Amino acid sequence: MSSFSVFSHIPVADPNTGAKPFSDFKRDSHRDKVFLAGKEYVGEGGRSALLPLIRKIKQQMNSDPTLNPEYLPSLGLPHFTRRASELALGKDSRAIVENRVIGVQAVGGSGAVRLGAELLKCRYGDGSSWRGPVLLPSPFDESLSWIFKAAGVGDVHCYRYWDGEHRGVCVGKMMEDLEKAPEQSVVVLSVVGHWPTGSDLSQGEWKHVVEVLGTRRLLPFFLLRAQGLCSGEPEEDAWPLRYAVAQGLELLCAQSFSHNFGLYGERVGHLLCVLKENDNLLAVQSQAEKLVQALWAHPPLEGARVVTTVLSNPAHLVEWLDGLKGIAERCMVMRERLREKLRLLGGTWEHLVKSRGLYCCIGLTVQQVAFLARKRHVYLLPEGCLNVSAINSRNLDYVAESIHLALTSHI
């Protein structure tokens, strides 16, 4: 019997830095501990909850005797991809009317990014691999960088986005970085509710960005997460994407339906590809299909079916939009309440209500974030950003005091 293991030289993987706050939180036994570093929307009760509408639809689906268990097409449930495209671009979008849109159901937003990265790699169509550059906004989810690299697109950089000092987007620096980018670079852009800062560009600023994308021949790869959760209105949240399309840009967009449908575990995502012309649409679509075969072959049905059911039924749509407004309002209310508490303790906190959606950036140093975790058992994201939905009536005072202490103690 051989004692040799084929795996013996394999090192332990570097810990996932994104998971550290949660693992520290789980180990923490302090009764006042608060976890503000999660990605999911959390209700007032402190847990992520299934929207009643979604529960109802799942139960209806379950008792439907006509449900077919067979594989979905590789490109996904056709009704889903249509509705997803319409939700993002608007039913009357030029691009849809002119048949220049490819939609592929993907396994969550991450799966959509991976598929998009793989598609970009073969963008030259001659067997050679495009390897970048791809520009990501700083700060960014490290897994985005890994995804591009795993797909073989190794040339990944940052552009300046969040200005910690001024607690907002540093548009000037961002524009500088985009102007300097080589032609044909891919620029990853958060449409709304930027993770983790929550800070987005204004419409005027978007117009400048789109202009530069056009003149510098840069390809935008939009990330559309939590559409509808930021302003409460899906159309308003999707404005930057729709504006870019209206200006005739070619683009990719990875959509996630995790937050705006509360379908995290179901992995509902969609990759949109808007082409300049549709003569090559079938070719690009066939490439996408081939790439899907090598990734997951067919996407999962359940979540996509729920989304399609909601988006195809006027009554469901109204109920869903109401639910979205409720979430958006609650997030804004928590921001305002946090701002008030902090203002009373000292300092200016207007930036908390300038951004919308689930995430916002307090503006803390690494040491202050560590202080919060160790001394106050309050867990934030490394940049001092937090998920406002995880704040509630029970922990608001404690969180505000803790932040104040972090800022005023000698650390």
Partner 1 sequence: MVVSENVAASPGASVFADALDVEIGCAGAYRTDEGQPWVLPVVRKVEKMIAEDNSLNHEYLPILGLPEFRSSASKIVLGENSPAVLEKRVGAVQCLGGTGALKIGAEFLRRWHNGGNTKTPVYVSAPTWENHNGVFANAGFEDIRPYKYWNAEKRGLDLAGFLGDLESAPEQSVIVLHACAHNPTGTDPSKDEWEQIAQVMKRRSLFPFFDSAYQGFASGNLEKDAWAVRFFVSQRFEIFCAQSFSKNFGLYNERVGNLTVVAKDEDNLTRVLSQMEKIVRITWSNPPSQGARVVSITLNNPELFTEWKDNVKTMADRVLLMRAELKAKLLALGTPGTWEHITEQIGMFSFTGLNPKQVEYLVKEKHIYLMASGRINMCGLTTKNIDYVAESIHEAVTRV
Should residue 3 be labelled a site residue for partner 1 when binding is judged by CB under 8 A? yes
Stretch that binds partner 1, among 62-70, 198-206, 239-247, 323-331 (CB under 8 A): 62-70
Q: How many angstroms separate the CA atoms of 129 and 151, rounded?
A: 10
Residue from 88, 226, 291, 338 in contact with partner 1 (CB under 8 A): 291
What is the identity of the amino acid at 324? L
Can you say how many angstroms the Cα of residue 184 is from the centroid of all Cα atoms in its chain? 23
Q: Positive or negative, the Cα torsion across 186, 192, 196, 201? A: positive
Site for partner 1 in 308-337 (CB under 8 A): none
Q: Which residues contact 141 (CB under 8 A, 6 or more apart)?
A: 18, 195, 196
C-alpha 205/C-alpha 114 separation (Å) is: 28
Which of 389, 384, 361 has the alpha carbon at shortest distance from 46? 389
Q: Which stretch binds partner 1 (CB under 8 A): 28-36, 90-98, 295-303, 310-318?
A: 295-303
Choose, by CB under 8 A, the member of 97, 150, 333, 344 that binds partner 1: 150
Of residues 237 and 266, the one with the C-beta less far from partner 1: 266
- Taking the complex as a whole, the smallest distance from the CB of residue 271 to partner 1 amounts, in Å, to 12
Q: Per CB under 8 A, does 45 bind partner 1?
A: no
Applying the rule CB under 8 A, the residues between 78 and 107 that interact with partner 1 are: 107
Interface stretch with partner 1, choices 51-59, 166-174, 323-331, 396-404 (CB under 8 A)? 51-59
Q: Does 59 bind partner 1 (CB under 8 A)?
A: yes
- Which of 39, 83, 194, 259: binder of partner 1 (CB under 8 A)? 39
Q: How many residues bind partner 1 (CB under 8 A)?
A: 89
Q: Does 289 bind partner 1 (CB under 8 A)?
A: yes
**193, 240 in Cβ contact below 8 A?**
no
Find how far residue 128's CA is from the centre of its chain: 30
Q: Beta partners for 375? A: none
235 lies in the binding site for partner 1 (CB under 8 A): no
Distance CA 91, CA 247 (A): 17
Distance in Å, CB of 311 to partner 1, minimum: 19
Closest to partner 1 by CB, 199 vs 256, is 256
Residue 75 CA to residue 295 CA, distance in Å, equals 12
The interface with partner 1 within residues 252-271 (CB under 8 A) comprises 252, 258, 262-267
Among 154, 164, 214, 300, binds partner 1 (CB under 8 A): 300
Least gap, CB of 227 to partner 1 (angstroms): 18
The rounded radius of gyration (Å) of the Cα atoms in the chain is: 22
Q: If binding is defined by CB under 8 A, does position 12 make contact with partner 1?
A: yes
Is 47 one of the binding residues for partner 1 (CB under 8 A)? yes
* Binding piece for partner 1, criterion CB under 8 A, among 163-171, 277-285, 344-352, 390-398: 277-285
Q: Is 129 in the site for partner 1 (CB under 8 A)?
A: no
The verdict on 201 binding partner 1 (CB under 8 A) reads no
- Taking alpha carbons only, the member of 239, 268, 271, 237 closest to residue 252 is 271
Closest C-alpha among 371, 305, 398, 259 to residue 83 = 305
Q: What angle do CA 84, 90, 92 make, to 5 degrees?
A: 125
Please give, one letter per residue, the 3-state secondary structure of 278-292.
CCCHHHHHHHHHHHH
Interaction of residue 295 with partner 1, rule CB under 8 A = yes
157 is written with which tokens? Answer: 């950089």
**C-beta closer to partner 1: residue 306 or 311:** 306
Q: Provide, rounded to whole angstroms, the least separation between the CB of residue 284 and partner 1.
A: 5
Among 87, 88, 119, 254, which residue interacts with partner 1 (rule: CB under 8 A)? 119
Q: Rounded CA gap, 230 and 319, in Å? A: 17
